[in-house]
Chains A and B, each alone.
Chain A
Amino acid sequence: MPLWANPRVGLVVLLVLLVALFSTIRPAFLDTRLTLTPLQSDISVYLVIGLAQMSVLSLGHMNMAVGRMAATSAFAMGLVHHTLGAGLLVSLFTGLVVGAGLGALAGLIISRTGVNSFVVTLAMDFALVGLITILYTGVVDGVAFPTMPAGMEALRFDTFADYCAGEICGPRIPLVAPFALAAALLTGLLFRWSRVGREILMTGSSPRAAELSGIPTRGRVVQAHALSGLLAALAGFLLAANNGAFSAGIGDGFLLPSFLAPVLGGTLLAGGAVSVLGTVLGATLTQVIYKGLNLLQFQLDRLQLYIGLVLLAALSLDRARHVLAGRREAAP
């Protein structure tokens, strides 16, 4: 395959062009404190939620409840801190378990009943919307927990530059970034090299052939959805850190970006193939566009419009490139 035919290359080129454009018009775009560090925090959140969606796209499934799985997990994190006084790690761990559990439940319903994942997760999303409101009203009589575990403030405001060993300080990378990076690396490892990850992809490729090749397909469906829930919980945690509170509104804006990042990066909706690197680039691209247009002082509604147009253009370009590459490949 020629280099230009790789979907990731197109994204990189587009990214470079946009960064050049934005920084020419508004030099403040390259300001670390003002733009780049917050940008990295945002990318971290949307990368992880993209990975959450990618985990089930691998099966050709969808998770329409990513947002509410994140919100429910964030509630669980807030709750164990609020009522039991749990620390950062215990809270995080609890939230991840709740997220994975919700995902596994969705996976279990899908694999047992054979109902389409879209329908099951959409129904779950509705149920959780109600549940979250009830829970927050019942526990804190509001829409957010008043306190956060110690250390969340550091995750919100600190960068590695604030931590020095003698004279040498770290780069201006927010503390949330390594969480997202680790999630991406582990997910990549899972789908690229692990047996379980490959079996999930094969199940996505052809469920019937997978079953007849001895793959425990039901188990793989449950596992992929559990992973999706786990990553959604992590994204919820990172957003709570960025926002400074565990609140009911976490995850409200997750659904569309969760599809955008992996799909821009070349993950197929049909299942059977994923790209973690593509999801990283897809998440980065969307957030760069968002940040750039924001900096150019577009109003919010205009902003949405332009982001939509840019993404449409990016996807069409991608399709054209794909077709061209196909022709090239077929030629002698």
Chain B
Amino acid sequence: MLVAENLVKTFPGVRALDGATLTLQPGTVHALLGENGAGKSTLVKLLTGVYRPDGGRITLDGGELHLGGPLDAQRAGIGVVHQERNLIPAFSVAENIVLHHLPGRAGWLDRARMRAEARRCLDLLEVDLDPDTPVARLSVAQGQLVEIAKALSLDNKVLLLDEPTASLTGDEADRLYTVVRRLRDSGHAVVLVSHKLEEVFAVADTVTVLRDGRSVAEAEPLAGFTQGQIVDLMVGRAFASIELAERTVGEQAPPALRLDGVSTALGHRDVSLAVRPGEILGLYGLVGAGRSELAKAVLGLERITAGTVEVHGEPARIRNVGEALRRHRIGYVTEDRKDEGLFLEQPVTRNIAVTVWRRLARAGLVPDRRERALAETYVERLGIRVSSPRQLAGQLSGGNQQKVSLAKWLAADCDILIVDEPTVGIDVRTKAAFHELIAGLAAQGLALLLISSDLPEVVVLADRIAVMSDLRVVGELDNDHDYPRMSQQIIRLVHAETHVEGRVSAA
């Protein structure tokens, strides 16, 4: 039994944990919940030796643990999948999985055994990946699966999963949870940190809720709570349901953005979509269905081999984001805010103004005053929490970063906005704020293409939902916002396609 009692951890300027207690029984799946900044990841890092606690103690089966580093935790049988990537890009999948216990023979690496071990771990997750593929060539989701396989490769008594499904599809998450249940049944303790309450309720037995660094619910049976009660505990107040702006879709207006029979060099086939001004078109699909890639093809970042793209009824040949922005007023809020959406080492002002320097400039020079004024407008309008507009974007929390990533497109005054997974890894409250914001933009007459693999999000926000699977649009539905019915229809569409493509022949 792993017990963390009254853990305290202070970082310069912040008390990240202030008396958090976690009690972990063998043979349980334990959910660790809390809003962004509540201290979940800090707690995970204390339990795995990444940080050392400033107060409190950690005991394993009665004996106190002094974790001086990640290796100590590993020796104690505590395995972890951190939220951040921890893979070495140049190494192969197999090398990464068995990195901490490379099988050797007389000082030489036993490659056959290494591959076999990696294969075994990947098979547990039913992942079809060549162990010799370099990790650099994997998608985000595949990388995540390799991380999990890596944690499985050691026979740990305790396994901590910090947001393991953030970039996984529903299918992949299901397979992961099957493994988690199997581990539980064989007596392991699994800690699950996740924002996705549906998943948590489906798989976890007990729950600890953190708020502002303290535990407000300690190892209580999850069955005693409803999702609403858990959210209340996390937020510390009754959860206000969001109110979305009323809007009317210009039925007569020509589509702001229309794709007609588009095929791409990446393999998209015959994709047709249309978004009208004031409308939100949901583009739902699993990771790997080719949604972001389709958006990038529209922006000219991937090659379109057939079909036409029309903007406001005019055929458009867009070659890059600059053209999309200036000639067609299309903005793209990327799903990968850290690598593609933000300049982490640059101040918030520049992150917001980067799309509009052309407009702000006088004779080629950009006055600081105008840039700052613009940034302040959006900091206020979106409620971005910054100590000063000069603060570096990398120092902000995930939710605030996402707002900055969106702000530059609002500043650019776009007509058409492609929003890719806007709320991945964002806490409940900020998520609701984002949904209100997106609905508000549509109410102002913007045409929105909402790419999301968050089913509730799509059903709440979209007017129509296009479902993508395997680089094709497999169906389009009018959304009546009735979640149980819509979600069933959508999932049926997704799975009907996978059956035809893959599973039937195997059966």
Residues of A within 8 A of B (CB): 189, 193-196, 198-199, 201-202, 205-206, 208-216, 272-273, 327, 330-332
Find out whether the CB atom of B321 lies under 8 angstroms from the CB atom of A212.
yes
Instruction: Point out the residues of chain A lying under 8 angstroms from B380, CB to CB.
Output: none
When the two chains form their complex, are residues A198 and B342 in contact, meaning their CB atoms are under 8 A apart?
A: no
Contact B341 A216 (CB under 8 A): no
A208-B340, A212-B334, A332-B12 given; A194·B345 CB < 8 A: no
Which B residues form the contact surface with A (CB < 8 A)? 11-13, 301, 320-322, 324-326, 332, 334, 339-346, 350, 354-355, 357-358, 361, 364-368, 408, 412
User: Contacting A214 at CB < 8 Å: which of B341, B343, B355?
Assistant: B355
Q: List 17 A-B contacts (CB under 8 A).
A: A189-B365, A193-B366, A193-B368, A194-B366, A198-B350, A199-B357, A201-B346, A206-B339, A211-B321, A213-B355, A213-B408, A214-B324, A214-B326, A214-B412, A215-B354, A272-B346, A330-B11
Q: What is the chain A residue whose CB lies nearest that of B405?
A: A209
A194 to B366, CA, bound (A): 6
Instruction: Give the Cβ gap from B317 to chain A, nearest Cβ, in Å.
Output: 16
Shortest Cβ gap from B90 to chain A (Å): 15
Q: Contact: A327 with B408, CB < 8 Å?
A: no
| A199 and B364 alpha carbons, distance in the complex (Å) | 12
- Chain A residues, CB < 8 A from B368: 193
The reply to whether A272 and B343 form a contact with Cβ atoms under 8 Å apart is yes
Instruction: State the CA gap A212–B12 with chains docked (Å).
Output: 34
- Contacting residue for B354 out of A202, A216, A331, A332, CB 8 A: A202
Distance of A264 from chain B, by nearest CB (Å): 20
How many angstroms from the CA of A209 to the CA of B404 in the assembled complex?
13
Query: Shortest 7 CB-CB distances between A and B: which pairs?
Result: A330-B12, A214-B322, A205-B343, A214-B321, A193-B365, A214-B325, A195-B357
Residue ID in chain B nearest A205 by CB atoms = B343
Contact A216 B320 (CB under 8 A): yes
A202 and B350 contact, CB distance less than 8 A = yes
Interface of A is mostly: helix
Which A residues are in CB contact (< 8 Å) with B350? 198, 202
Contact B358 A213 (CB under 8 A): no
Is B343's CB under 8 angstroms from A209's CB? yes
Given contacts A195-B358, A208-B340, contact A213 B321 (CB under 8 A): yes
Is there an interface contact between B358 and A205, defined as CB atoms closer than 8 Å?
Answer: no
Which A residue sits closest to B358, measured CB to CB? A195
Distance (whole angstroms) from the CB of A268 to the closest CB of chain B = 8
Are A202 and B343 interface neighbours, CB within 8 A?
Answer: yes
CA distance A201 to B326 in the complex (A): 21
Q: Which of B325, B342, B358, B365 contacts A209 (CB 8 A)?
A: B342
Across-interface contacts of B343 in A (CB, < 8 A): 202, 205-206, 209-210, 272
Contact in complex: A205, B341 (CB < 8 Å) = no
Point out the residues of chain B lying under 8 angstroms from A272, CB to CB: 343, 345-346
Name B340's contact: one of A212, A330, A331 (CB within 8 Å). Answer: A212
* Nearest A residue to B359, CB-CB: A195
Are B357 and A212 in contact, CB atoms less than 8 angstroms apart? Answer: no
| Minimal beta-carbon separation of A316 from chain B (angstroms) | 23
- How far is the CB of A256 from the nearest CB of chain B, in Å? 26
Asked if A209 and B341 make an inter-chain contact with CB atoms under 8 angstroms apart, the answer reads yes
Q: Which residue of A lies closest to B13 (CB)?
A: A332
User: Shortest CB–CB separation between residue B344 and chain A, in angstroms?
Assistant: 7
Asked if residues B322 and A216 are in contact (CB atoms below 8 Å), the reply is: yes
Chain B residues, CB < 8 A from A198: 350, 354, 357, 366
Q: How far is the CA of A331 from the CA of B408 in the complex (A)?
A: 31
- B364 contact from A195, A205, A215, A216, Cβ within 8 A: A195
**Cross-chain contact of A331 among B12, B320, B322 (Cβ < 8 A):** B12
Shortest CB–CB separation between residue A121 and chain B, in angstroms?
Answer: 24
| Residues of chain B within 8 A of A206, CB atoms compared | 339, 342-345
| Chain A proximity of B406: nearest CB distance (Å) | 12
**Which partner residue on chain A sits nearest B10 by CB separation?**
A332
A194 touches B364 (CB 8 A): yes
Task: With a 10 A CB-CB cut-off, give which of A198, A214, A327, A331 has the most chain B CB atoms.
Answer: A214
In the assembly, what is the distance between CA of A212 and CA of B365, in Å?
Answer: 22
Quote the shortest CB–CB distance from A208 to chain B (angstroms).
Answer: 5
Given contacts A195-B365, A198-B366, A273-B345, contact A215 B322 (CB under 8 A): yes
Q: Give every chain B residue within 8 A of A213 (Cβ-Cβ).
A: 321, 354-355, 408
Cα–Cα, bound, A95→B342 (Å) = 39
CA distance in complex: A225, B357 (Å): 22
Once bound together, how far apart are the Cα atoms of A215 and B355, in whole Å?
A: 8
With contacts A209-B339, A211-B320, A216-B322 taken as known, whether A202 is within 8 angstroms of B358 at the C-beta atoms is no
Measured CA separation A120–B339 after assembly (Å): 25
